[in-house]
């Protein structure tokens, strides 16, 4: 097995996180924004796993399982909300939801 | 039974709570029973406590009952605690007993009025607060009672609030007494600042130990306390509120503005007598104020045509006697006169109330006349009160109490003969205006129809108070006549004795004052009964108008205080200082307007905001470390 240096892995996780964040900012479609948030979560999870393997601790993987569970729950709630929003606005454009403010 | 001391103020306050919370749902009978019984039970318990006190007197004739700690702030932790000694016991007995009879009287007197429960609620609150005032162990708790009786006075003067004049009279009373109360509060601050305590007995023992006689602190402190007493007791120069306070119902005038509350000033000075003894200048000032007030108010009483205003000025004048007594160190004389005055002045106000209500709210004595035949019971009781007020020799309580004061004014160590002369002139005027009132009201021809007669619940208080006004003097008979100085001996356990400077025959002085009183009554008879033209001619003179308006004090205060205040209010209609507040509010609205633009409802903007904030926070952390 090739030993990947920690820095490379952290950099990958950082790039993933930034891509996800960029996705949240630039996409208008709410489903894509949700997916971008998922990428950000996984980037964070990857950082945990890397750190765990670096120090030889199981905590990192435990944390990742937590994040996975939380992400699943979050997605189910998020998708349900998106469904409701789509029913109401007949659109998935996040900017069109600004009529809700008040 | 002395352990039940806490019940005395609690019972009337309980009555107040019941009447104020459930008064609307109770019928008049239940209201009357609650209101009267609470004070009646309090009177009963005060008799039991007094009995206990006489039989087995506590150590040093002082009994303290601490209920709980009021609050604690640093070293200062005033307690809710009651203090009973001979002085507060006499006051408590008078307040509860006279208070009970006036409540009994009110059950019938106020029967036709709206707000029956409201009336009894206020009256009960008053009795409770007054008992707090006289039973308090520390000056702060006393001040609570002091302010609460002022509040009750305000509420009850304005009881018939639908008439604008009554509301104005109530406000006048409240504001004028507030001047004195503020001075008193400053006095309390001063005492606390220098001694670190407000416990009365502690103050009275520590003050002489730590300060020399005539030094600044006792001087200023006693001056401030005197200010409070002057406001509450309607003495010069704060006497203007009491005549107007007669706008309230007659039982209120009897209880609050004659028998009890207005004598709170006398109680305060007697309670803190050590402070006054340490400031001889202020004590003399007290005597001077008393002497001046008794003359000025006496002359004003001579000219009034409203029967209640005569009695109001007479009250001011009689409290002037008490202040004179306090000022010359005749402590027991002041308390004795307070006691008899409470009996006969309450009686006179109650009698005047009966007359007024049975003549359908006629206050003018010149329109009464001849009521001797048509209201015999009222006449005889009123006559007993009037004789006592005029200090009719030998027969009445008023003679003995006033004689005590006059005797000390003549022979007392701290007195000078000028005070005696003023006192004698005052007693001539007192006899004159009292019997002017009696002759105008009850003699001559009847001018009005009498609409009714008092019932039993009115007759009993009148009769009891009439008996007390006659026989009340046996509590303290002079040395040359009976020499039963029970009250003085009792009070001397807690108040100092008065020393004589020279010994004149007491009998001679009594004869002089007795003759003066008889002369006054005779003059009243000549002027108002024999010659009918005098009253009319007197009324034409300018001095009559001057006295009628109370020596022009109202005009003076209007010009000095009221009109400038109104003028400032008028030119400052826009309220310049308010612009500062308005400016602050505008500035915030502007800021707010800027930030409101960021609330777009666009999700991605918010995400951007969060990200920027996070980057900023992380950046700050990184750079600071």
Residue count (chain A): 102
Contact B602 A95 (CB under 8 A): yes
The listed range with the strongest mean pLDDT (A94-98, B71-75, B466-470) is B466-470
Q: Which helix (H) or strand (E) holds B62?
A: strand B62-69
Do B321 and B290 touch, CB atoms closer than 8 A? yes
* Mean of the per-residue pLDDT values of chain B: 88
Question: For residue A7, which of A47, A62, A52 has the smallest C-alpha distance?
Answer: A47
For chain A, which residues make up each domain, given as ranges?
Answer: 8-92
In angstroms, the separation between the Cα of residue A30 and the nearest Cα of chain B is: 10
B599 → closest Cβ in A26, A33, A101: A101
Do B41 and B11 touch, CB atoms closer than 8 A? yes
Supply the pLDDT for residue B510: 84
CB count, 10 Å around CB of A10? Answer: 15
Range of weakest confidence among B9-23, B327-341, B500-514: B500-514
B601 CB within 8 Å of a chain A CB: yes
Q: How far apart are CA A69 and CA A58, in angstroms?
A: 17
Q: Which residues contact B174 (CB under 8 A, 6 or more apart)?
A: B150, B153, B154
Q: Please give the DSSP secondary-structure letter assigned to residue B528.
A: I
Domain A8-92 listed as CATH 1.10.3210.50: no
Which tokens go with B80? 């809710």
Supply the pLDDT for residue B440: 87
Supply the pLDDT for residue B480: 73
Q: Which residues contact B50 (CB under 8 A, 6 or more apart)?
A: B89, B92, B93
Supply the pLDDT for residue B503: 67
Taking only residues 479 to 498 of chain B, the set having a beta carbon closer than 8 angstroms to any beta carbon of chain A reads none
Do A96 and A89 touch, CB atoms closer than 8 A? yes
Do B7 and B42 touch, CB atoms closer than 8 A? yes
Contact A99 B599 (CB under 8 A): no
Q: Write down the H helix ranges in B65-163.
A: 86-109, 116-135, 139-157
B603 CB within 8 Å of a chain A CB: yes
Does position A61 have pLDDT exceeding 50, yes or no?
yes
From first CA to last CA, the distance across chain A in angstroms is: 57
B474 CB within 8 Å of a chain A CB: no
CB count, 10 Å around CB of B101? Answer: 30
Is residue B502 very low, low, confident or very high in pLDDT (cuts 50, 70, 90)? low
Q: DSSP letter string over A5-60?
A: -HHHHHHHHHHHHHHHHHHHHH--BHHHHHHHHHHHHHHHHHHHHHHHHHHT-SHH
Supply the pLDDT for residue A101: 57
Which tokens go with A67? 């994040």
Averaged pLDDT, B337-364: 89
**By CA distance, what is B604's nearest residue in A?**
A25
Supply the pLDDT for residue B547: 81
Averaged pLDDT, B47-65: 86
Does position A1 have pLDDT exceeding 60, yes or no?
no
SS3 B138: strand
Averaged pLDDT, B302-327: 91
Contact A98 B600 (CB under 8 A): yes
Look at B453 and B119; give whichever has higher pLDDT. B119
B602 → closest Cβ in A26, A30, A98: A98
Averaged pLDDT, B453-464: 88
Strand B79-85 relative to strand B62-69, pairing: antiparallel
B59 CB within 8 Å of a chain A CB: no
Contact A28 B604 (CB under 8 A): yes
Supply the pLDDT for residue B323: 93
Does position B142 have pLDDT exceeding 90, yes or no?
yes
Averaged pLDDT, B142-163: 91
- Tell me which chain A residues have a C-beta less than 8 angstroms from the C-beta of B601: 97-101
How far is residue B339 from each of residues B35, B261, B323, B591, measured CA to CA in Å? Answer: 24, 13, 14, 68
- B539-559: per-residue pLDDT in tens? 778 887 878 787 888 888 888
Supply the pLDDT for residue B348: 93
CB count, 10 Å around CB of B624? Answer: 6
Residues of A with CB under 8 A from a CB of B: 21, 24-26, 28, 30, 33, 94-95, 97-101
Q: How far apart are CA B518 and CA B601, in angstroms?
A: 96
Q: How far apart are CA B48 and CA B26, in angstroms?
A: 31
Averaged pLDDT, B440-462: 84
Does position B50 have pLDDT exceeding 50, yes or no?
yes
In angstroms, the separation between the Cα of residue A77 and the nearest Cα of chain B is: 17
Averaged pLDDT, B56-79: 85
- Tell me which chain B residues have a C-beta less than 8 angstroms from the C-beta of A14: none
The angle formed by the CA atoms of residues B123, B128 and B130, to the nearest 5 degrees, is 95
Contact B604 A24 (CB under 8 A): yes
- Tell me which chain A residues have a C-beta less than 8 angstroms from the C-beta of B606: none
Q: How far apart are CA B470 and CA B396, in angstroms?
A: 4
SS3 B175: helix
SS3 A93: strand
Q: How far apart are CA B128 and CA B122, in angstroms?
A: 10
Averaged pLDDT, B549-576: 86
- Tell me which chain A residues have a C-beta less than 8 angstroms from the C-beta of B604: 24-26, 28, 33, 94-95
Supply the pLDDT for residue A102: 47
- B359-372: per-residue pLDDT in tens? 888 888 888 877 88
The angle formed by the CA atoms of residues B617, B620 and B625, to the nearest 5 degrees, is 130
Q: What is the dihedral sign for C-alpha B326, B328, B329, B335?
A: negative
- Tell me which chain B residues have a C-beta less than 8 angstroms from the C-beta of A24: 604, 607
Supply the pLDDT for residue B74: 82
| Helix, strand, coil share (%) of chain B residues, nearest 5 | 75, 5, 20
Q: Which residues contact B567 (CB under 8 A, 6 or more apart)?
A: none
Strand partners, B57: none
In degrees rounded to 5, what are phi and psi of residue A18? -65, -40
């Amino acid at each position: 097995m090739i030993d990947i240096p920690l820095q490379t892995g952290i950099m990958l996780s950082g790039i993933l996180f930034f891509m996800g964040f960029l996705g949240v900012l630039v996409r208008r479609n709410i489903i894509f924004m949700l997916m971008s948030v998922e990428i950000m979560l996984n980037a964070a999870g990857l950082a945990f796993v890397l750190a765990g393997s670096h120090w030889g601790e199981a905590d990192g993987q435990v944390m990742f399982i937590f994040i996975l569970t939380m992400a699943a729950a979050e997605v189910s709630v998020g998708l349900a909300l998106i469904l409701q929003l789509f029913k109401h606005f007949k659109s998935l454009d996040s900017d069109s939801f600004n009529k809700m403010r008040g | 039974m002395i352990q039940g001391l806490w019940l005395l103020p609690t019972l009337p306050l309980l009555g107040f709570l019941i009447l104020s919370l459930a008064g609307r749902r109770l019928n008049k009978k239940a209201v009357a029973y609650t209101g009267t019984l609470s004070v009646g039970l309090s009177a009963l318990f005060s008799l039991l406590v007094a009995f206990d006190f006489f039989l087995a007197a506590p150590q040093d004739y002082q009994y303290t009952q601490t209920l709980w700690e009021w609050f604690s702030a640093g070293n200062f932790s005033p307690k809710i605690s009651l203090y009973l000694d001979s002085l507060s016991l006499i006051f408590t007995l008078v307040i509860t007993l006279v208070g009970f009879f006036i409540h009994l009287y009110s059950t019938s007197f106020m029967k036709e009025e709206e707000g029956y429960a409201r009336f009894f609620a206020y009256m009960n609150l008053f009795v409770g607060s007054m008992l707090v005032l006289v039973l308090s162990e520390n000056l702060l708790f006393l001040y609570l009672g002091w302010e609460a009786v002022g509040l009750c006075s305000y509420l009850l003067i304005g009881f018939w609030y639908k008439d604008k004049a009554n509301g104005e009279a109530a406000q006048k009373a409240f504001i004028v007494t507030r001047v004195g109360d503020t001075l008193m509060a400053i006095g309390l601050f001063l005492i606390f600042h220098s001694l670190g305590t407000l416990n009365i007995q502690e103050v009275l023992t520590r003050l002489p130990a730590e300060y020399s006689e005539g030094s600044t602190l006792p001087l200023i402190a006693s001056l401030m306390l005197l200010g409070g007493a002057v406001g509450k007791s309607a003495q010069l120069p704060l006497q203007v509120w009491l005549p107007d306070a007669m706008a309230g119902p007659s039982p209120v005038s009897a209880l609050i503005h004659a028998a009890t509350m207005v004598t709170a000033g006398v109680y305060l000075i007697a309670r803190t007598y050590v402070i006054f003894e340490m400031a001889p200048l202020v004590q003399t000032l007290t005597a001077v104020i008393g002497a001046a007030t008794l003359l000025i108010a006496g002359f004003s009483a001579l000219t009034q045509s409203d029967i209640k205003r005569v009695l109001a000025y007479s009250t001011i004048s009689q409290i002037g006697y008490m202040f004179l007594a306090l000022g010359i160190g005749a402590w027991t004389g002041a308390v004795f006169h307070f006691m008899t005055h409470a009996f006969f002045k309450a009686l006179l106000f109650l009698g005047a109330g009966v007359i007024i209500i049975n003549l359908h709210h006629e206050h003018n004595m010149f329109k009464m006349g001849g009521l001797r035949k048509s209201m015999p019971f009222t006449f005889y009781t009123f006559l007993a009160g009037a004789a006592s007020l005029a200090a009719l020799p030998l027969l009445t309580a008023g003679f003995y109490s006033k004689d005590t004061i006059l005797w000390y004014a003549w022979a007392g160590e701290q007195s000078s003969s000028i005070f005696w002369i003023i006192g004698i002139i005052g007693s001539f005027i007192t006899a004159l205006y009292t019997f002017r009132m009696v002759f105008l009201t009850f003699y001559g021809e009847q001018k009005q129809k009498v609409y009714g007669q008092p019932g039993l619940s009115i007759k009993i208080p009148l009769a009891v108070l009439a008996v007390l006004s006659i026989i009340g003097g046996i509590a303290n008979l002079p040395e040359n006549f009976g020499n039963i100085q029970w009250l003085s001996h009792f009070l001397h356990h807690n108040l100092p004795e008065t020393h004589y400077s020279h010994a004149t025959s007491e009998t001679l002085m009594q004869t002089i004052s007795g003759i003066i009183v008889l002369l006054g009554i005779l003059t009243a008879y000549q002027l108002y009964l024999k010659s009918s033209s005098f009253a009319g001619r007197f009324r034409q003179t300018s001095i009559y108008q001057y006295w009628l308006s109370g020596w022009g004090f109202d005009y003076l205060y209007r010009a000095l205080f009221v009109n400038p205040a109104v003028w400032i209010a008028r030119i400052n209609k826009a309220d310049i200082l308010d612009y500062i507040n308005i400016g602050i509010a505008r500035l915030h609205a502007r800021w707010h307007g800027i930030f409101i633009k960021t609330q777009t409802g666009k999700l991605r903007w918010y995400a951007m905001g969060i990200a920027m904030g996070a980057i900023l926070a992380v950046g700050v952390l990184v750079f600071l470390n």
